[in-house]
Amino acid sequence: MKYVHLGRSGLKVSRLCLGTMNFGPQTSELDSCVIMDRALELGINFFDTANVYGWEMGEGITEQIVGRWLAQGHGRREKVVLATKVFGRMGEWPNQSRLSARHIKQACEESLRRLQTDYIDLYQMHHVDRKSPWEEVWQALEQLCREGKVLYVGSSNFAGWHLAQAQEMAKSRHFLGLISEQSLYNLNDRMIELEVIPACEAYGIGLIPWSPVARGLLAGALDSVTSGRRADEDLKKDVERYRPRLEAYEQLCRELREEPANVALAWLLHQKAVTSPIIGPRTLEQLNGTMRATDIILSEDTLNQFDGIFPGPGGAAPEAYAW
């Protein structure tokens, strides 16, 4: 496993990040623990979760599973760069969601309790909160950093101008600010190339792509749909919408003699702005299979072929749409 710095920070993380969203709803606690143990064996040291995962309001089911795994000891906590998130609704009362200073403090304390740890390596804002001023947000996060409960701060689902606004305010407060942004990014969803990626590069913010295989679209979806294997209705609609692209893509994967899901991950690993794509295995077999992506080398000609199949927005703004 290779390791890289997360953004401009001194923190080193694995080139793949273990996403835990399936732990609880899709994967049993026992199997989740097996997957986390195996991830460490494979050298994956970057684990991502969120207080809302588990999808039972206020319960933090996935964080609890990760916490019980960490509590088993044997160096688990020391080895793991632990990331979680704040923003989502954790109760029915008005201040139990979003990014008020009150909610940030309360949500952090609750995540620490569920995760059975005294610090969070990377605390990420799960979404931008247009109603909470940056002065308030940074004041709350700075306090958590001073207390040693949070070491680094990241964002998720921010627009490029949000990243710039956040960083300029942090700079004025002599605070490190954001070291990472977690965005939707894959071969089929490339809109962040317009402004999010240029902002990340300008500010030294590491990019952590989520949904690297586009909810299964880039993981051999044509075969899944035609063979009658499990495929939800949204995936079936996407397959029909993007069928010409997928036919060309899966044909190219066959020529490369690689699984489509691994090729999609490998493409992300070839993008210079990307730090660690998030993989979300439901099973141990999926985790083991994913590791092949780190060994795939894509030639310049192959990368150009992917650009022809999935053209993206045309590069960075404004040149993507103006002279």
Residue with tokens 């060994």: 295
Distance CA 272, CA 295 (A): 16
pLDDT computed for residue 232 by the predictor:
84
> What kind of fold does domain 3-215+257-309 have according to CATH?
TIM Barrel (3.20.20)
Taking alpha carbons only, the member of 143, 181, 204 closest to residue 9 is 204
CA dihedral 88, 94, 98, 103 (to 10 degrees): -100
CB neighbourhood size of 139 (10 A): 14
DSSP designation for 213: T
What 3-state class would DSSP assign to 322? coil
Residue with tokens 């913010």: 205
DSSP designation for 214: G
Which distant-in-sequence residues (6+ apart) come within 8 Å of 127 by Cβ? 87, 88, 156, 157
Catalytically active residues are: 53
pLDDT computed for residue 223 by the predictor:
83
Residues of the chain with pLDDT under 50: none
Which amino acid is present at 128? V
Tokens of 220: 């051999």
